[in-house]
Amino acid sequence: MTMTPSSGRGAATATPPTRSDTAPTAGANAFVSLSKAMFRGFFRDRVAVFFTFLFPLMFLVVFGLLFKDDSGGTVRIGVVGDGPVISALPADAVETQRYDTLDAALVDVRSGDLPAVVAEQGDQVTLRYAASDAATSATVRGLIAGVVSEVNLRATGQPPRVQLAADQVEDSSLNAIQYITPGLLSWSVATSAVFGSALTLVSWRRRQVLRRLRLSPVSPMTVLTSRLGVAFVVALLQAAVFVVLGVTPLFGLQLSGMWWLSIPLLAVGTLAFFAIGMLAGSFAKTEEAASAIANLVVLPMAFLSGTFFPIDSAPTWLKLVSNAFPLRHLNDGMLDVMVRGQGVGALVTPVAVLLGFTVVVGALAAFLFSWDDG
Amino acid sequence: MTKTITRTIVVEDLRKNYGELAAVDGVSFSVADGEFFGILGPNGAGKTTTLELIEGLRKPDGGRVSLLGENPWPRNAALLPRMGVQLQANSFFEKLTAREQLETFASLYGIGPAVAAEMLELVGLTDKADTREDKLSGGQRQRLSIACALVHQPDVVFLDEPTAALDPQARRNLWDVLRAIQGEGRTIVYTTHYLDEAEALCDRVAIMDHGRILALDAPATLVRGLDAPTQVSLLHGALTIADAGALPGADEVTDDGVTITIATRNPTPLLAALADRGALDGLSVRRATLEDVFLQLTGREYRA
């Protein structure tokens, strides 16, 4: 340490202070205190905290609760009259709405408010359904036909010759919360990594903090890794908030046994999007421009990567294009390990792609990096 | 101190071009150990670029810089702990208090947090220790910024327009801080566009314009070399123009209806004669200043 010991200090102040403490481990010390400074700056910035933690949760609440019961479960059917068929309609699959006359019910079917109506009078059962929704009408037809057969069979007093054993299977098409949570989590981690690194870079360049750091003996690597460390911790906090809220009965998220694999995956994802943010920050001169670029990068990627809704039904070319997005791979990986219960093997492709992005984008950002605007 | 250096900074024929513009156009000077050295001139004179070249923030297009016996370009890790820099924009970390800023900067030099209190006291901000940087006044921010440049007890301190955009009271407060820093034996290189301030603070000044140094010496020497008359002013009506012109040492008399002004190159007998007549009401004596030096050097009025 080439520090001057107390050198005639005290001309200005009442009590001459003495040079007291010098820490020997400058590098580690600088790393810790830079991280601390950035954490403080981050958590004191209410807007940043809102957009990092609360804003994504709003999406979780909206999507998670909105689609909670929408598992293709019940069909609404209008009923007129009464009889064995109407009473035998399965309550867990059908929601009935009573009408006085068939004509009154048909008015609602025609206007599109009601998918189908069943009228039962004596031995005559009439089913009328809307022609527009083929899937629902097929469901209704099958359902009513099944009930009618069952009633007929019961009337014969014969035991059924063929037994149908039906039980549900956990399929890979997940219900809303299972699908939404890993996607929204990937998206929010990506967003805060991009915005965080881009805004820090631009604001530090504009406020000449970068120049000031360059004029201090701290290595650029220390500055970079401390900022990256902050991004990792923020990502993990986001994941914790998401999962803790998700598993409450209100949302009913069920984690797979391999959920912990999402931690290394999120770390790699943070790395990739941090690099993208550094690239955005190298282009942008102002914070506003950095935000705009970050939005331009992340938002379309989110929509095309299946963050908010599955892209299984998207055109093939779009699915192909989406493979070029790092968020798509982060998303898929998160789904696989968080809720589908797949093992380490499911991480190979996402991690390889994300690391590849980190290297390429990071190298480009390093090439374009400048300490100041001049 | 690791070794004694008599010349902290040596600059020889320094050049820096931005496109067609020669921002620094063949500048040479040296700064002695412990000196308070001012670079002054109007905006765009090349002051900041000169400072940046010495600090090693920019690569010179020509010439040579030696700072504490070393070349500052490219980034010279051996030099960095020995120099303290206050940049033109106050480079603070977002949302941190005054104490936290100092603690963070100190840690970059491997210095523990206890130094913060000491620095706050030096610049008179002890009662603002827990105030966030963005809640400080302009003068307080400048003082904090200077404190941040001093946390590691540098041998040489660079201050880029530390008093710009401050009100007169805040400027005066800062002067005391700057004098105290020099009192500690540190070398100070600072830029300003306030000529009166440079005159009050600096051991030597370099007057710059259009990337060149026009004059370099102690402020008093520069002013004396000007051979400009001292202006003695009295209230209008204290004397007639004829009486004033007859006084010993009076070279030229003007009366604008408010003030009667006597130009003299020999003020002692003139002032004695005025005292004898009891005509000292509203007396003011204005000697030549650096502004007059600038006017003479450039042929135009000084405009900051």
Q: Could you tell me the pLDDT band of residue A23, with boundaries at 50, 70 and 90?
A: very low
ipTM for this prediction: 0.84
Q: Give the pairing of strands B212-217 and B204-209.
A: antiparallel
Q: Mark yes or no for CB contact B91/A208 under 8 Å.
A: yes
Tell me the average pLDDT across A39-48.
Answer: 92
CA distance B110 to chain A (A): 4
Per residue in B245-295, pLDDT tens? Answer: 888 888 888 888 888 888 888 888 888 888 888 877 778 888 888 888 888
Per residue in B81-131, pLDDT tens? Answer: 999 999 887 789 999 999 999 999 999 999 999 999 999 998 889 999 999
Q: Mark yes or no for CB contact B110/A2 under 8 Å.
A: no
Q: Could you tell me the pLDDT band of residue A140, with boundaries at 50, 70 and 90?
A: confident
Per residue in B191-222, pLDDT tens? Answer: 988 888 888 999 999 999 999 999 999 998 98
Q: What's the confidence (pLDDT) of residue A146?
A: 86
CA distance A230 to chain B (A): 15
Q: What's the confidence (pLDDT) of residue A18?
A: 39
Q: Mark yes or no for CB contact B87/A22 under 8 Å.
A: no
Q: Residue A211 class from Cβ within 10 Å (0-12 exposed, 13-18 middle, 19+ buried)?
A: buried
Mean pLDDT score of chain A: 85
> What is d(CA A65, CA A181) in angstroms, rounded to the nearest whole number?
12
Tokens 């006017």 belong to B295
Q: Could you tell me the pLDDT band of residue A67, with boundaries at 50, 70 and 90?
A: confident
Residue A359's CB is within 10 A of a number of other CB atoms, namely 13
Q: Is the pLDDT of residue A181 over 50?
A: yes
Selected for mutation to probe chain B from A21, A22, A34, A200 (highest B CB count within 10 Å) is A22
> What is d(CA B61, CA B16) in angstroms, rounded to the nearest whole number?
5
Q: What's the confidence (pLDDT) of residue B250?
A: 87
**Higher confidence at residue B218 or residue A90?**
B218
- The CA–CA distances, whole Å, from B185 to A66, B84, B101 equal 71, 14, 25
Q: Which secondary-structure segment (H or E) carries A206?
A: helix A176-206
Q: What's the confidence (pLDDT) of residue A17?
A: 38
CA torsion through residues A19, A21, A25, A31, sign: negative
Q: What's the confidence (pLDDT) of residue B258?
A: 86
Residues 55-84, chain B: which have Cβ within 8 Å of A? 55-57, 75, 77, 80-83
Q: Is the pLDDT of residue A9 over 70?
A: no
Cβ atoms of A266 and A235 closer than 8 Å: yes
Q: Which residues of A touch B111 (CB under 8 A)?
A: 3, 21-23
Cβ atoms of B94 and A41 closer than 8 Å: yes
- The CA–CA distances, whole Å, from A148 to A74, A85, A93, B272 equal 19, 6, 16, 130
Q: What's the confidence (pLDDT) of residue A178?
A: 86
Per residue in A182-231, pLDDT tens? Answer: 999 999 999 999 999 999 999 999 999 999 999 999 999 999 999 999 99
> What is d(CA A146, CA A127) in angstroms, rounded to the nearest whole number?
13
Q: What's the confidence (pLDDT) of residue B55?
A: 94
> What is d(CA A235, CA A241) in angstroms, rounded to the nearest whole number?
10
Residue B123's CB is within 10 A of a number of other CB atoms, namely 27
User: Would an 8 Å CB–CB cutoff place B5 in contact with chain A?
Assistant: no
Q: Is the pLDDT of residue A7 over 70?
A: no
Q: What's the confidence (pLDDT) of residue A306?
A: 84
Q: Which strands make up the sheet holding A75-81, listed edge to edge?
A: A94-99, A75-81, A116-121, A124-129
Q: Could you tell me the pLDDT band of residue A20, with boundaries at 50, 70 and 90?
A: very low
Q: Kindly give, in sequence order, each residue whose CB lies less than 8 Å from that of residue B237, ignoring residues fewer than 6 positions away.
A: B260
Q: Could you tell me the pLDDT band of residue A174, with boundaries at 50, 70 and 90?
A: low
Cβ atoms of B86 and B149 closer than 8 Å: yes
- The CA–CA distances, whole Å, from B183 to A12, A245, A346, B126 equal 8, 60, 67, 20
CA torsion through residues B269, B274, B278, B284, sign: negative
User: Would an 8 Å CB–CB cutoff place B4 in contact with chain A?
Assistant: no
Q: Kindly give, in sequence order, each residue whose CB lies less than 8 Å from that of residue A119, ignoring residues fewer than 6 positions away.
A: A79, A80, A81, A102, A105, A125, A126, A128
Q: Is the pLDDT of residue A12 over 60?
A: no
Residues 119-138, chain B: which have Cβ within 8 Å of A? 121-122, 132
Name which of B47, B92, B102, B65 is nearest A206 in CA terms: B92
* Tokens matching residue B141: 């921010």
Size of interface A-B (CB pairs under 8 A): 141
CA distance B268 to chain A (A): 36
Task: Look at A1-15, A50-64, B8-22, B166-180 and tell me which has the smallest mean pLDDT.
Answer: A1-15
Q: Which residues of B touch A21 (CB under 8 A)?
A: 111-115
Q: Is the pLDDT of residue B59 over 60?
A: yes
Q: Mark yes or no for CB contact B95/A13 under 8 Å.
A: no
Which regions of chain A does DSSP assign to beta strands (E)?
A: 75-81, 94-99, 116-121, 124-129
* Tokens matching residue A164: 């149908």
Q: What's the confidence (pLDDT) of residue A330?
A: 95
Q: Which residues of B touch A206 (CB under 8 A)?
A: 89
Mean pLDDT score of chain B: 89
Q: What's the confidence (pLDDT) of residue A16?
A: 35
> What is d(CA A256, CA A337) in angstroms, rounded to the nearest whole number?
7
Q: Give the nearest partner residue to A4 out of B114, B148, B153, using CB atoms.
A: B153
Q: Could you tell me the pLDDT band of residue A21, with boundaries at 50, 70 and 90?
A: very low
DSSP character string of A268-329:
HHHHHHHHHHHHHHHH-SSHHHHHHHHHHHHHHHHHHTTSSS--TTS-HHHHHHHTT-HHHH
Q: Which residues of A touch B153 (CB under 8 A)?
A: 3-4, 7, 19
Helix/strand/coil for B110:
coil
- Please name every residue paired with A80 in a beta bridge, in sequence order, or none if there are none: A99, A119
Q: Mark yes or no for CB contact B1/A216 under 8 Å.
A: no
Distance of CA B132 to the CA centre of its chain: 28
